[in-house]
Amino acid sequence: MRTLDFANGDTLPMLGLGTWKSKPGEVYEAVKAAISLGYRHIDCAHIYGNEAEVGQALEEAISGGAVRREQLWITSKLWNNAHAPEDVQPALRETLANLRLDYLDLYLMHWPVAQKKDAVFPKSGADLIALEQLPVADTWGGMEQLVDAGLARHIGVSNFSVAKLRRLIDSARIKPAMNQIELHPYLQQNAMLEFCQQVGIHVTAYSPLGSSDRPAGMKADDEPVLLEDATVQRIADAHQASPAQVLLAWALQRGTAAIPKSVNPERMKQNLAAADLALNDNDIAALADLERHRRYVDGATWALPDSGYTVANLWDE
């Protein structure tokens, strides 16, 4: 498995297992199966509501000798209601307790969005806190302390625009090591990739398969289904591969990590094998033509009246 490399010698296996939308009751089996199939990178988040089950699977895999802790790369994410600097370390400690780990490989600020502590998901603008009041830089200060304390080996962000990354880099003592963003042939993020390469920030592609199992409230009626795209299908047929494998090979060939979610061992195996699929120049050119700037996860959840957040200012577009 190809890796993304870090200055301290750590290596991130580029293909990982996503756990967003993996239900408690399913994710325990999924993580155990993934580890026995050879996955060594698991992507988690507090807000997914399933970290305790992931943790049970991790503990059993480690104590049973299937894998050693240091062979695994475990990522998790700080939720928006714990952005006050003094709330950051307690939030990570809760995640570590759930995951039954004593450190994370990577901890990400999940969104550049701050919420009141008692609001898990905002119902009105009053549940949100403007970034002018609780700046990203303050939260980042709390994140930096996690590295100092040895609780997170690396820290980074998710859903950040280039403009927000630039501002963060200007004020940060520890540069973010990662930006995890939605990334697939319908949302190629070329400018972001170029910027991150210039400044030495790795990129992870979330929703690399188009996340068709998103909750109904996050889906548009007319949205294109990435896994059914005719070009993707044609390339898959030519390589005797599946559409999912084409999408994942594309992500890896562009130098990004990818975290397809699955709870199905056959699909997990297929997704991991995508690391061995080599797309040719014609395939890459045909996939480049699919760009349509389609965000499946558009951040509209935070764009509530009187919140100060809009979809436009979230992405700086």
Contacts with ligand A2P by CB under 6 A lie at 18, 207-213, 227, 242, 244, 260-264, 267, 270-271
CB 21 within 8 A of CB 213: yes
Smaller CB separation from ligand A2P, 122 or 210: 210
Q: How far apart are CA 169 and CA 122, in angstroms?
A: 28
Q: Which two tokens stand for residue 93?
A: 């400690």
The nearest distance, CB 227 to ligand A2P, in angstroms, is: 6
**What count of other Cβ atoms lies within 10 Å of the Cβ of residue 145?**
17
Smaller CB separation from ligand A2P, 122 or 243: 243
Beta-strand pair 202-206/178-182: parallel
Q: How far apart are CA 47 and CA 120, in angstroms?
A: 8
The nearest distance, CB 183 to ligand A2P, in angstroms, is: 10
Smaller CB separation from ligand A2P, 143 or 205: 205
Gyration radius from the chain CA atoms: 19
The nearest distance, CB 244 to ligand A2P, in angstroms, is: 3
- Catalytic site residue from 28, 39, 48, 206: 48
Smaller CB separation from ligand A2P, 10 or 29: 29
Residue 73, strand partner residues: 41
Question: Known catalytic residue: 48?
Answer: yes
Residue with tokens 């003592």: 173
The nearest distance, CB 20 to ligand A2P, in angstroms, is: 6
Q: How far apart are CA 240 and CA 204, in angstroms?
A: 26
Active-site residue numbers? 48
